[in-house]
Each structure stands twice: as C-alpha cells, then as structure tokens.
Chains A and B, each alone.
Chain A
Amino acid sequence: MDGTDSLFYYYPLPTKKPPASPSPSQPDHQSKTTIANANTDTTTKTATFNNNNKNSIPFYKPIEIKERDFLCNYKLSHKHKAASTSSSLDSPPGNTKTNKKMDSHVLLEAFTCRDTVIMIFRKLGARDLARASCVCKLWRDMASGDEIVRPAFMEPWKLKEIVGKPESGKFWRDSGIYLEVQKGWFLVCGYLGICFFLFVDLDKVEFVVYGMLVIRFSSL
C-alpha cells in the first residue's frame, strides 16, 4: 500500500467555477408582461449570487487538524507561535459552517496523522521502531504493525521474504541476530534454499523457536 497516495485522495479537489449567470429569461417570457419579466430577473440573480457565495468558501473542506490527532498530541500552541502575531482578519464565511461538520472528518484526520507518521517510520530501523512504539499509544499501534516492521527488519539483511509470524516482538532485534550469530547461539537448518532459523537460548538451556519463522535469502 502507498500511504501518501491514499492520503491525497481524501482532499476533495477544487470544484470548477459555476458557469456565468444564466440568461435572465427565456424567449417565451419576453412576450409576457414586463412585471413578470422583472420578477424572474431578480430571482435568477439571487440564485446565482448564492452560488457565488458558496464558491467563495475555500474549495477544500477545511480539515482542521485537531490537537490530539496530529502526530498524536502534537501541540498546536507550539505549532502556531507565528500565527499569534498575524493580523486578525474576519474568518472566512465558510469556517463556521464547516466546523459543524467536524465530526465526519475525525476519522479522516486520524488517517492523515497516521500517514504522516508512517512515512517517517518507513525510514527507521527495527531498533528505532521498537523504541518509537514506547512513545505513545498511537505510535505503538503503528510502529508494531507488520507492514512497517518487516521491511525495516529485512532491509539491512537484504532478505527477500519472511514467511510466518513471530511469536514475540523480540524477533525483530536485527542486531540481536548478528550477535547471536557471533556467539553461535542459533542454528540454521537449510533445505532447498530455505533456511530455518532456530534460536537457542543457552542460558535457559531450552530451544526458543520464534514462531517457526522462515527466512529466505534473496541470493539463495
């Protein structure tokens, strides 16, 4: 999946301007009395005006990033230090209307927040992700997701594929595997290009098989 693309989808694209005010009256009407003609004229005008007024509302539904949703609890006060000095123009007419619609955007905001953070997580290694998951609840849920952790683990090892699901998050300690290789603490059973990594914890004198996880090297 591509987080960034899915995010962009949620911002409604600007709408085209409504066509120029429609012709005030039909040819048929012109044959009727001038009073009737004037009446239709004014009604069409107000109608088009309303249209224009709607159009002056910002063309994106202003999705106001709520305090707790942005980067999870990102403080707005800290964010808008510069804003406090700005001139206080009247808020655009659209704002009060869209604030009422906020509820429907709450989910959406959560998504935007998630996408922003996940883009950063994609650049982190397994160790950093493990620590990131201790930052807050939202980060824990995201940083321990398979689609984030697996690539982070596979990248330094140039792994092609990881089959199965580890029993514990401890599996993802990338440096851990390296250390265990050095200490000879784990066994590799290779068969037909498939390696079974069996972790052996000699301290406890027992076999710890991390969920029968199968790792296939791209070079094999």
Chain B
Amino acid sequence: MSSSAENPTLTAEITKPSTEIATETAQSAKKITLKTSDDQIFEVEESVAMEFATVKSFFEDAPSSTDTVPLPNVPAKPFSQVIEFCKEQIKFKANPDETEKKRSNSEFVKEKTNEDLVEMIPVANYLEIKDLLDVLNQAVADRIQNRSVEYVRSFFGIDNDFTSEEEALLREEHAWAFEDVDED
C-alpha cells in the first residue's frame, strides 16, 4: 500500500476500499473484519473468526494481514446466524460437555425457520465449519423426513423440471415410498 499512497492519481481509483480497511482495522486490535457479499461489514473476535476454516487459512498464509477479508459468497443475514453458532461453540471448546453441546445445538436449529437453515448451509459450506454443517444437514434431513415431494420442493425453493409424464413414471417406480407420507 505504501507505493500507492505516494501516487495520488492512482490511489483515487481505489479510495473506497482502502480507506475502509484503514478505519476498520485501526479501531480493533484483536478483531477481524469480514465483508459479506452485500457489503456489510462484520467485526468478529479473532477466536470466532478462526472457527471459519476458510478465514483461518487466509491468516495462516498472511499472519500479519490487517485487511478486511471479503466473503464474496456469504450474505449478511445467514452469516450473522453462523457467527451466533460459532460463539456458542467456543464456549464448549473450553469445557467440553457433549450432552450440553447437543442440547445447545438442537436449540439453535429449533428456533430457525426452514428458510434460515437452507440459507445457512452454503455459508457453512463455504466457510468450512464442519460442526455447523453437520448440525444443519441433520436438521434439514429431519425436517424433510417423511414429507411429500411438494413439501420438499417448497422447502428448498426448487422448481419442478419434470414433464408430467416423467414425473408420473418416477412416482410409479417409487410408489412404495409414497405410502404413509406425513401431511404437509
């Protein structure tokens, strides 16, 4: 950055990101600044940010970096929930208590809407938080268990791309799986 500071005409083009970085990092020593895909800035404690394997590997490569870490695949809303989860997880790192951890995890997913869960999965996947991914996938699997095809489609927001003949054929082939399906 030193060379760009000496050259005012060139710095003008990138003023926005660079000043942002400077002000954000000046305020916090132990905090890490993360920028989501919708340009929201999150200041996260270092211990929490290290839960994200993707962010962790960035700092392993450049330990002294003070830049804002861009997370181009992460929108703000699910990300704030992911941070919430990781904060909980850190508590259990200090004193591991499996039953308490399970209870807290199930409580975490219980209060989330279907939409929240579906949004968080790609975020957890991108940030490589294996614990969270496991919890989320299990929660989603539990929620679509024994539900109708229509329910699953609306759950994930998937469009039906079968022709009516194709679908009828498939349903006939899997007719055994459609007995005693829960009501939506």
Chain A residues close to B by CB (< 8 Å): 4, 7-8, 11, 13-17, 20-21, 45-46, 48-49, 52-53, 56, 58-60, 62-65, 70-75, 78-83, 86-90, 92-93, 112, 115-116, 119-120, 122-128, 130-137, 139-140, 168-170, 173, 175-176
Query: In chain A, what residue has the closest Cβ to B168?
Result: A134
From B25-33, B82-90, B94-102, B176-184, the one touching the partner chain is B176-184
Does B61 lie within 8 Å of A16, measured CB to CB? yes
20 extra A-B contacts, CB within 8 A, seeds A4-B125, A131-B152, A131-B177? A4-B130, A16-B61, A46-B7, A46-B10, A56-B18, A60-B54, A65-B122, A71-B122, A83-B37, A90-B16, A92-B17, A120-B137, A120-B140, A123-B137, A126-B177, A134-B174, A136-B153, A169-B173, A169-B174, A175-B176
Residues of the B chain whose Cβ atoms lie less than 8 Å from the Cβ of A90: 16
Question: Measured between C-beta atoms, what is the minimum distance from B132 to chain A in Å?
Answer: 12
From B43-51, B104-112, B141-149, the one touching the partner chain is B141-149
Contact A49:B176 (CB < 8 A) given known A74-B118, A124-B141: no
Residues of the B chain whose Cβ atoms lie less than 8 Å from the Cβ of A17: 62, 65
Residue B160 CB within 8 A of the other chain: yes
Question: Measured between C-beta atoms, what is the minimum distance from A56 to chain B in Å?
Answer: 6
Residues of the B chain whose Cβ atoms lie less than 8 Å from the Cβ of A92: 17, 70
Contact A74:B16 (CB < 8 A) given known A20-B2, A21-B2, A120-B141: no
Contact A75:B157 (CB < 8 A) given known A133-B174, A137-B162, A173-B176: yes
Give Cα A158–Cα B105 distance, bound, in whole angstroms. 28
| A-B pairs with beta carbons under 8 Å apart, 26 shown | A11-B54, A14-B57, A16-B61, A60-B70, A63-B72, A64-B72, A70-B122, A78-B115, A82-B76, A82-B77, A89-B16, A89-B39, A92-B70, A119-B133, A124-B141, A124-B144, A126-B177, A128-B141, A130-B174, A131-B147, A132-B149, A133-B174, A135-B149, A136-B160, A169-B174, A176-B176
The answer, among B14, B61, B167, B176, for a CB contact under 8 Å with A13, is B61
Does A71 lie within 8 Å of B76, measured CB to CB? no
Residues of the A chain whose Cβ atoms lie less than 8 Å from the Cβ of B62: 14, 16-17
Residues of the B chain whose Cβ atoms lie less than 8 Å from the Cβ of A176: 176
Residue B170 CB within 8 A of the other chain: yes
Give Cα A176–Cα B175 distance, bound, in whole angstroms. 11
Does A170 lie within 8 Å of B10, measured CB to CB? no
Question: Measured between C-beta atoms, what is the minimum distance from A87 to chain B in Å?
Answer: 6
| Main secondary structure on B side of the interface with A | helix
Contact A127:B177 (CB < 8 A) given known A4-B130, A4-B133: yes
Question: Measured between C-beta atoms, what is the minimum distance from A13 to chain B in Å?
Answer: 6
> Of A63, A87, A133, A176, which is in contact with the most chain B CB atoms at under 10 Å from its CB?
A133
Contact A173:B177 (CB < 8 A) given known A49-B7, A73-B159, A86-B38: yes
Residues of the A chain whose Cβ atoms lie less than 8 Å from the Cβ of B122: 65, 70-71, 112, 116
The answer, among A15, A87, A128, for a CB contact under 8 Å with B61, is A15
Residues of the A chain whose Cβ atoms lie less than 8 Å from the Cβ of B3: 21, 45, 48-49, 52
Question: Measured between C-beta atoms, what is the minimum distance from B71 to chain A in Å?
Answer: 8
Give Cα A74–Cα B14 distance, bound, in whole angstroms. 34
